[in-house]
Amino acid sequence: MHFVDKIHFNDSSKYDANRIININKNCLNHTNEMIYSITLCAVKFITMGPLKFIFVLLISAHGFSQEKTYSETEISVSKFIDGTLLDPIEDKKSILAIIIAGSGPTDRDGNQNFLKNDALKKLAKDLANAGISTFRYDKRIVKQIHQGNVDPDIMFDDFVNDAKDVITYFKEKNSFRKIYVIGHSQGSLVGMLAAKEKTDGFISIAGAAKNIGDVIVEQVSNMNPQLGKEAQKVVDKLKKGESAAEYPEILASVFDTNIQSFMINWMQYNPIEIIKDLKIPILVINGTKDLQVSEEEAKLLKEANENAQISIIENMNHVFFEIEGGDLENSKSYNEAFRPISSKLVKSITNFIN
């Protein structure tokens, strides 16, 4: 169940045609760029002949000899949070961007089971190459799933507290000149709540402006107006902090009794009201081909805080890829890790931070 991102009617509750590239197993630990280079060579071999294939291969192999511009360190912030810190080698006390993932059991790279795009990993690396340190981390639910010990009483506020713990951890280290928070999708609201203190700026990427209850009702109503009316009745109760014993069975993935406490906790927050109170620099980013969060949401967030900046990126979708085609290509891209993320996204963030 992707609460903010989109409603899927399945049983995953609050835990929420791939392109196959055949390469040698020895290459699996290399970066996406290197894998792309290998693929490019294979294409050239087929289309241009053996001699030109050798030429392209030599150019491609040059990428393997390039040194990293950043160091990579695994850090355990708490018993709940493990993550990866990327530090530019040339800058001993750079600016840090903490990246917070969206809804569902999303790991530090932006992936879930059977859904891999490496969006957050690519963002972290691109920012590190641009001289900005990054820390990205697995949501606590990811670690619990791996350990086979999922907390049935997990709450939305747990995600906020985890983000605050990460900020505090690096603030106390005093290793960075400034600390920025980047929140993606559900992570936008988490980031807003966590960034109120101890940070120097906040960046929302594909963050909703409306209350999650209103988002659910809107999405259900778009699919089935009558079902939307039933959803509204349940949401009205949950917003009051009351449980709802009756709800449409088809909406069990969002209204089942075992997740209502989580939803009640989440519904107490209105992103527009939260961002309005932030006294730090703000950048709101959205793509024109985001299937989950529209440009209008970004504009509402921007309008809520007169000091906020906005960047609408042409053709960028929810997972930072630029899509030239329609919804089918867009949806498929969510599981296409070979794609590069939008360079305009990276430029917007680096310009804002620097």
- What digits encode the pLDDT tens for the residues 84-132? 999 998 876 789 999 999 999 999 999 999 899 999 999 999 999 999 9
The answer to whether residue 247 is domain-embedded is: yes
Q: What is the DSSP string of 24-75?
A: -GGGTTS-HHHHHHHHHHHHHHHHH-HHHHHHHHHHHHHHHHPPPSEEEEEE
How much is the pLDDT for 197? 83
The answer to whether residue 13 is domain-embedded is: no
Is residue 239 domain-shared with residue 113, that is, in the same domain? no
The pair of structure tokens assigned to 181 is 């928070």
CA distance 153 to 95: 36
The pair of structure tokens assigned to 176 is 């960075």
User: C-alpha distances in angstroms, 352 versus 93, 132, 177, 202, 316?
Assistant: 18, 12, 15, 10, 18
How much is the pLDDT for 19? 30
Of 16, 48, 65, the domain-final residue: 65
Residues 6 or more apart from 354 whose CB is under 8 A from it?
A: 95, 131, 132
Task: Provide the whole-model pTM.
Answer: 0.81
How much is the pLDDT for 8? 42
Is residue 45 domain-shared with residue 189, that is, in the same domain? no
Q: Cα angle vertex 24, ends 18, 27, to 5°? A: 90
Is residue 35 domain-shared with residue 89, that is, in the same domain? no
The answer to whether residue 1 is domain-embedded is: no
Rounded-to-10 torsion of CA 23, 29, 31, 37: -20
How much is the pLDDT for 93? 77
What length does the chain have? Answer: 354
Is residue 137 domain-shared with residue 233, that is, in the same domain? no
Average pLDDT on 190-203 reads 95
The answer to whether residue 9 is domain-embedded is: no
How much is the pLDDT for 91? 72
Report how far Cα 295 is from the mean position of its chain's Cα atoms. Answer: 17
Residue of 64 and 178 predicted with greater confidence: 178
Is residue 150 domain-shared with residue 97, that is, in the same domain? yes
Of 35, 65, 95, the domain-final residue: 65
Instruction: Work out whether the CA dihedral 84, 185, 171, 122 comes out positive or negative.
Output: positive
Residue of 331 and 58 predicted with greater confidence: 331
Residue ranges making up the domain that contains 232:
214-262
Of 229, 247, 262, the domain-final residue: 262
How much is the pLDDT for 270? 97
Of 260, 309, 263, 269, the closest CA to residue 286 belongs to 309
- pLDDT of 192 > 70? The answer is yes
How much is the pLDDT for 90? 82
Question: Predicted confidence band at 178 (pLDDT cuts at 50, 70, 90)?
Answer: very high
- pLDDT of 73 > 60? The answer is yes
171 phi/psi in degrees, rounded to 5: -65, -40
Is residue 306 domain-shared with residue 165, that is, in the same domain? yes
- pLDDT of 259 > 50? The answer is yes
Residue of 344 and 219 predicted with greater confidence: 344
Is residue 88 domain-shared with residue 112, that is, in the same domain? yes
The answer to whether residue 14 is domain-embedded is: no
The answer to whether residue 293 is domain-embedded is: yes
Is residue 229 domain-shared with residue 334, that is, in the same domain? no
- pLDDT of 292 > 50? The answer is yes
How much is the pLDDT for 66? 55
- pLDDT of 16 > 50? The answer is no
Report how far Cα 99 is from the mean position of its chain's Cα atoms. Answer: 8
Other beta carbons within 10 Å of 206: 28
Other beta carbons within 10 Å of 293: 26
Parallel, antiparallel, or unpaired for β 82-88 and 96-100? unpaired
Give me the CATH number covering residue 328.
3.40.50.1820
How much is the pLDDT for 286? 98
pLDDT per position as a tens digit, 27-64 = 333 333 333 332 333 333 333 344 333 333 333 333 44
The answer to whether residue 245 is domain-embedded is: yes
Is residue 169 domain-shared with residue 142, that is, in the same domain? yes
How much is the pLDDT for 11? 37
Helices (H), the chain: 32-48, 50-65, 119-129, 140-147, 156-173, 186-194, 212-223, 225-239, 252-255, 260-267, 271-276, 295-304, 327-332, 343-353
CA distance 235 to 227: 12
Is residue 164 domain-shared with residue 283, that is, in the same domain? yes
**Which of 51-55, 292-296, 309-313 is the least confident region?**
51-55
Tell the burial category of 164 from Cβ atoms under 10 Å away from its Cβ (0-12, 13-18, 19+): middle
Is residue 129 domain-shared with residue 61, that is, in the same domain? no
CA distance 226 to 229: 5
- pLDDT of 138 > 70? The answer is yes
Q: How many domains does the chain have?
A: 3
The pair of structure tokens assigned to 35 is 């894998």
User: Which residue is listed with tokens 């053709």?
Assistant: 315
The answer to whether residue 15 is domain-embedded is: no
Is residue 127 domain-shared with residue 223, that is, in the same domain? no
User: Which residue is listed with tokens 């290998």?
Assistant: 38
